Chain A
Amino acid sequence: MSRLGTLGARLYRGEVGYDFVGKRKIWYGISILITITAILGLAVRGLNMGIEFSGGAVFTTPTTSVSAEDARRTAQDASGHTAIVQKLGNHSLRVQVSELTTDQSRKTQEALAKKLDVSTDKVNTDIVGPSWGDEIANKAWTGLGVFMILVVIYLAIAFEWRMALAALIALIHDLTITVGVYALVGFEVTPGTVIGLLTILGYSLYDTVVVFDGLKESSKDITKQTRFTYSEIANRSLNGTLVRSINTTVVALLPVAGLLFIGGGFLGAGMLNDISLALFVGLAAGAYSSIFIATPLVADLKERDPQMKALAKRVRARRAADAAKAEQGAVQDEAAESAEADEDDEPQDASPAGVVGQRDRSAGRGRGGRGRTSGKRR
């Protein structure tokens, strides 16, 4: 802990940090690349819809002692699709396999018959409709649409429209990547994976909101200082919450990773694998996009705001002045400078330890008091 703990402290104070915002173009590029790959994969390979969506063939066997697991393997091998096997009350089996050609269907039927050691015509074949009808899917889409609109409105109110927009882009980014991975890997899309996708949607937004909350707090009184531009503040806030982001992501990913790698190692393909893959990719993408995409996007948008442009100008002017001053080497300015630095620094965090009392007082009123004072003084 100690090393990471110290790192946390240094990140917190801004002593070290990664320039997320400054290097955003690289990360945008990477994300665009991944997204394009995902979309291409989707376009070329398409999604392999499971039986729950597309319907398929159902084979009903006569009474048998063959285990469901064996039958599942047999059907899967013969058909090349994921099979769902249920044992019925009278010890017969119901085997469902998603959309098959007539040929595949016949093959599966024969394989099952062979496995069960009965004649082929004893294995009854029928066509089964999707258990996830269009209605469920359509309503899920509607729900998704309604939710996205509401969440944009909410974020626009709780934060601002730029953050809402950035969060939405990050969300779409995450979902696209996850779906793309599905297409590329060729996993069957089951209700489980759809629900995994929805889980990701929730998590991605959740994570983005946590990061934005830190950003909002950091940039509260931004116009009242001239030391940092918005992008710099955003970057600092990202570094400040980095430890939290890493910890949360690790904690969220560990159980899923266990399910994916250990569970997957045990079992090969299966419903669990599908879901945990969706979750793993999605959670990772969600954590990544909050930091590398969403926040830099907000900074980008913000820097176009006239107010922020003016701020950036002031910051540049001041830095030029500081540099000039530094050249003069005016030692007596030191004290005043540092005093002002303290004031200006207020929006971030670093009010010194000695002023707890005072800070508390103003904190009660949203810390506006001090900001105003310093603004006047300037």
Chain B
Amino acid sequence: MAAPKKGRRSPGGQGRPGRVLALILIAMVALTGGMFASGHTTPRLGIDLAGGTSFTLEAKNQPGKPNAINKTNMNTAVGIIERRVNGLGVTEAEVQTQGDKHIIVNIPRGTNAKQARQQVGTTAQLGFRPVLVSAPAMKAPEPTPSTSANGKDNGDKSKGDKSKGDKSKDDKNKSSGSPSPSASTQGRPVTDALKADGTATPGATATVSPSGKTDDKSTDGKTDAKKQDDKKAPTPTPSAGDTAALQKKLDAVDCTTKDGRAKANADAANTAPTDPIVACRKDGTTKEILGPVAVEGTGVTEANAVFDSQGGKGWIVQLKFNSSGSKKFAQVTGDLATKQPPQNQFAIVLDGEVVSDPSVSTSIAGGQAEISGGFTQQSARDLSNVLSYGALPLSFDVVTEQTVTAALGGEQLRAGLIAGAIGLGLVIIYLVAYYRGLALVALASLACSAVLTYTIMVLLGTALSFALNLPAVCGAIVAIGITADSFIVYFERIRDEIREGRTLRPAVERGWPRARRTILVSDFVSFLAAAVLFIVTVGKVQGFAFTLGLTTLLDVVVVFFFTKPLMTLLARRKFFASGHPWSGLDPKRLGAKPPLRASRRRPSATVDPKEA
């Protein structure tokens, strides 16, 4: 008979069902072990089942934008915060507005509240600004007279000539480079270089002498207003008047202390993107005067946290720009590359703070950039997450932070569980009544599926913050039906084969390819639904899609690697093979035709003509 041939072709076939079974058992044990090793033995529950932490955010009025707190902006903010806290859609956080200027963010228990708070509150205004001046972090001890003088000279020109001003930046940078071969040249460029060669730590940089700096600066100021021969660039640069003020500011700013930095950040964050700012480096080593935003954060379409193993920079955040963003970025970096240090650096500024300030040696095309500098895995992930979803239109203060209980009362949940258990009991009774011995296979498969689903959900709870909410539980209940269907389709195939007069072993093998096709085709539809919904949607729908996809995949895994091999093994047992009345495979009860091997044609005549 051809059965063995078929068996070989099908995975988990007759060849070595034992091994396949062992494999999946090992996988189950490993997952269970992993679950215990991870220290969590229950899945993370969504806020509707377990409660969590609730933040209330209050929108702050920003200078220069009096009417910024309106419905549209609040709704945009809700959308962005939602995606930030719900990055993969599986964390089951809830975000809603309350009143006119409050946003409530509910986060399920077990989430890192501190991290969440940061994610929620960060405005994430990202900008790429050229570095004009770089100075050590402490307060400038000796403000040089040249600075102020300069400032007065060109004070009138400050903001008026936007179209021209910009070019001057580049010129200024060029000219300034030569007169200041100061200390800033030393450590810097290497450290944060955009290309993967930088190995030094950011902290090791910036041994600039303040005086040299200031000189440098003033030179800039002068040249600034005069030359204007460069290519176009959309944003204006500071002219000398600003420069003086900025220099003063720079001197005043103290980046070595936390408070000083916070003040500087807030100040910088509230400056319009078209104005230059004074900002601190995140690590507190340097303060810088930065030109207007050259490339806006809105040009970033995607941000990813990556471990840079080659360049040795540790965790970095890779950015992808959209087409206009990447064009601008290529142009700006091209310009900067021609400058002398430190003007060949550009600063990546996030909410008024310089995250990193790499130097540029060539124009960077291709729409990619990376931010490096002392990230941990967590901070790199957080930053990339925040950048991916864009800046909030408003800035917010977290005004309260409270724990909340589950929205679904404990009573309801308990009753639901009892009801579910009774339902499952009924399923078992039905299966046993109908399939008898085969029900063992079905129940073992369901149990296997349950173990896999449970452990994977627990592990994902740790890894992806996957949280199980009520809809997901319901999805799992429906999944019982879909999983059981796979066995039922297979069992019915086997029984059909037995009705044909086959003995069990060939029936098991011959029924499989047809059952397999049915299972794959129909599960593919379910998986398609899950994949599309996961990709296209956000929030809870995404969480649901995730659960659906997971259970569908597990269904296929269980049927292929558990049910089928188990069936093959059982078919060798006498209890099943002989068609014991309790095996559920009794040929007589199934109404099998007598296995008449001799006559080819005869039997069908007795049966078929009755139809039609």
Partner of B506, one of A151, A256, A356: A356
A residues in contact with B423, CB < 8 Å:
254-259, 262
- Check B539–A342 contact: CB distance below 8 A: no
- Check B522–A206 contact: CB distance below 8 A: yes
Q: Does A58 touch B at the CB level, under 8 Å?
A: yes
- Check B544–A195 contact: CB distance below 8 A: yes
- Check B590–A5 contact: CB distance below 8 A: yes
Q: Does A184 touch B at the CB level, under 8 Å?
A: no
Interface of chain A residues 1 through 58 with chain B (CB within 8 A): 1-2, 4-6, 8-10, 12-15, 55, 58
Complex Cα spacing A172 to B1, Å: 46
- Check B419–A259 contact: CB distance below 8 A: yes
A-B contact pairs, 15 of them (CB 8 A): A5-B495, A143-B535, A154-B525, A199-B548, A207-B522, A240-B496, A257-B426, A263-B419, A267-B412, A272-B419, A276-B474, A350-B608, A353-B500, A353-B597, A364-B5
- Check B604–A139 contact: CB distance below 8 A: no
Q: Does A305 touch B at the CB level, under 8 Å?
A: no
Complex Cα spacing A296 to B518, Å: 20
Give the residue among B404, B510, B591, B596 with the most A Cβ atoms within 10 A. Answer: B591
Interface of chain B residues 558 through 612 with chain A (CB within 8 A): 584, 589-605, 607-612
B236–chain A nearest beta-carbon distance, Å: 35
Q: Does B36 touch A at the CB level, under 8 Å?
A: no
Q: Does B245 touch A at the CB level, under 8 Å?
A: no
A291–chain B nearest beta-carbon distance, Å: 14
Complex Cα spacing A247 to B419, Å: 21
Using A199-B548, A205-B525, A267-B415 as known contacts, say yes or no to A356 and B502 having CB atoms under 8 A apart. yes
Query: Nearest chain-A residue to B401 (Cβ)?
Result: A89
Partner of A6, one of B402, B470, B589, B601: B589
Complex Cα spacing A130 to B79, Å: 11
Query: Nearest chain-A residue to B74 (Cβ)?
Result: A129
Complex Cα spacing A196 to B472, Å: 9
- Check A258–B426 contact: CB distance below 8 A: yes
Q: Does A133 touch B at the CB level, under 8 Å?
A: yes
Q: Does B458 touch A at the CB level, under 8 Å?
A: no
* Interface 9-residue window, one of B148-156, B161-169, B200-208, B526-534: B526-534
Partner of B589, one of A5, A130, A192, A247: A5
A residues in contact with B510, CB < 8 Å:
360, 363
Per DSSP, chain A at the interface is helix
Complex Cα spacing A139 to B79, Å: 12
A residues in contact with B607, CB < 8 Å:
13-15, 350
Q: Does B418 touch A at the CB level, under 8 Å?
A: yes
Complex Cα spacing A359 to B99, Å: 73
Using A86-B405, A199-B474, A213-B517 as known contacts, say yes or no to A244 and B492 having CB atoms under 8 A apart. yes
A303–chain B nearest beta-carbon distance, Å: 16
Query: Nearest chain-B residue to A5 (Cβ)?
Result: B589
B residues in contact with A293, CB < 8 Å:
none
- Check B518–A214 contact: CB distance below 8 A: yes
Complex Cα spacing A199 to B605, Å: 45
Q: How large is the interface on A (under 10, 10 to 19, 20 to 34, 35 or more residues)?
A: 35 or more
Q: Does B409 touch A at the CB level, under 8 Å?
A: yes
Q: Does B354 touch A at the CB level, under 8 Å?
A: no
- Check B470–A271 contact: CB distance below 8 A: yes
Per-position 1/0 for A192-213, Cβ under 8 A of B? 1011101101110111011001
Given contact pairs A128-B96, A198-B541, A360-B1, enumerate 8 new A-B contacts (beta carbons under 8 Å): A8-B495, A147-B536, A228-B611, A251-B480, A254-B426, A259-B419, A270-B408, A341-B605
Complex Cα spacing A339 to B548, Å: 49
A residues in contact with B495, CB < 8 Å:
5, 8
B residues in contact with A248, CB < 8 Å:
481, 484-485, 488-489
Q: Does A85 touch B at the CB level, under 8 Å?
A: yes
* Interface 9-residue window, one of B137-145, B186-194, B264-272, B428-436: B428-436
Using A136-B540, A352-B604, A360-B510 as known contacts, say yes or no to A151 and B528 having CB atoms under 8 A apart. yes
- Check B419–A10 contact: CB distance below 8 A: no
A368–chain B nearest beta-carbon distance, Å: 15
Query: Nearest chain-A residue to B513 (Cβ)?
Result: A363
B residues in contact with A210, CB < 8 Å:
485, 489, 518, 522
Complex Cα spacing A225 to B433, Å: 39
Query: Nearest chain-B residue to A268 (Cβ)?
Result: B412
- Check B99–A251 contact: CB distance below 8 A: no
- Check B602–A352 contact: CB distance below 8 A: yes
- Check A8–B484 contact: CB distance below 8 A: no
- Check A133–B79 contact: CB distance below 8 A: yes
- Check A213–B521 contact: CB distance below 8 A: yes
Q: Does A329 touch B at the CB level, under 8 Å?
A: no
Query: Nearest chain-A residue to B104 (Cβ)?
Result: A128
- Check B496–A12 contact: CB distance below 8 A: yes
Complex Cα spacing A145 to B14, Å: 43
Q: Does A306 touch B at the CB level, under 8 Å?
A: no
Q: Does B323 touch A at the CB level, under 8 Å?
A: no
- Check A8–B590 contact: CB distance below 8 A: yes
- Check B471–A256 contact: CB distance below 8 A: no
Query: Nearest chain-A residue to B530 (Cβ)?
Result: A202
Using A68-B409, A127-B99, A353-B596 as known contacts, say yes or no to A209 and B522 having CB atoms under 8 A apart. yes
Complex Cα spacing A18 to B501, Å: 25
Q: Does A227 touch B at the CB level, under 8 Å?
A: yes
Per-position 1/0 for A87-130, Cβ under 8 A of B? 11110001000000000000000000000000000000011111
A residues in contact with B420, CB < 8 Å:
255, 258-259, 263
- Check B2–A353 contact: CB distance below 8 A: no
A297–chain B nearest beta-carbon distance, Å: 18
B residues in contact with A252, CB < 8 Å:
478, 480-482, 484-485
Interface of chain B residues 78 through 104 with chain A (CB within 8 A): 78-79, 82, 94-99, 104
Complex Cα spacing A348 to B505, Å: 22
B residues in contact with A199, CB < 8 Å:
474-475, 478, 544, 548
Q: Does A250 touch B at the CB level, under 8 Å?
A: yes
Q: Does B427 touch A at the CB level, under 8 Å?
A: yes
B residues in contact with A87, CB < 8 Å:
51, 404-405
Using A94-B404, A139-B537 as known contacts, say yes or no to A262 and B422 having CB atoms under 8 A apart. yes
A residues in contact with B530, CB < 8 Å:
202
Partner of B488, one of A5, A58, A244: A244
Q: Does A183 touch B at the CB level, under 8 Å?
A: no
- Check A356–B1 contact: CB distance below 8 A: yes
Q: Does B444 touch A at the CB level, under 8 Å?
A: no
A residues in contact with B502, CB < 8 Å:
353, 356
- Check B541–A195 contact: CB distance below 8 A: yes
A157–chain B nearest beta-carbon distance, Å: 11
Interface of chain B residues 489 through 505 with chain A (CB within 8 A): 489, 492, 495-496, 499-502
Q: Does A349 touch B at the CB level, under 8 Å?
A: yes
Q: Does B538 touch A at the CB level, under 8 Å?
A: yes
Q: Does B216 touch A at the CB level, under 8 Å?
A: no
Q: Does A186 touch B at the CB level, under 8 Å?
A: no
A146–chain B nearest beta-carbon distance, Å: 5
Complex Cα spacing A130 to B540, Å: 14
- Check A1–B584 contact: CB distance below 8 A: yes
- Check B601–A357 contact: CB distance below 8 A: no
- Check B524–A154 contact: CB distance below 8 A: yes
Complex Cα spacing A357 to B500, Å: 13
A324–chain B nearest beta-carbon distance, Å: 16
Q: Does A69 touch B at the CB level, under 8 Å?
A: yes
Q: Does B123 touch A at the CB level, under 8 Å?
A: no
- Check A275–B470 contact: CB distance below 8 A: yes
Q: Does A236 touch B at the CB level, under 8 Å?
A: yes
Using A86-B406, A251-B485 as known contacts, say yes or no to A232 and B548 having CB atoms under 8 A apart. no
Complex Cα spacing A86 to B408, Å: 8
Q: Does B259 touch A at the CB level, under 8 Å?
A: no
A residues in contact with B599, CB < 8 Å:
352, 354
B105–chain A nearest beta-carbon distance, Å: 10
Q: Does B416 touch A at the CB level, under 8 Å?
A: yes
Q: Does B27 touch A at the CB level, under 8 Å?
A: no
Complex Cα spacing A123 to B431, Å: 54
- Check A147–B407 contact: CB distance below 8 A: no
Complex Cα spacing A89 to B405, Å: 8
A172–chain B nearest beta-carbon distance, Å: 15
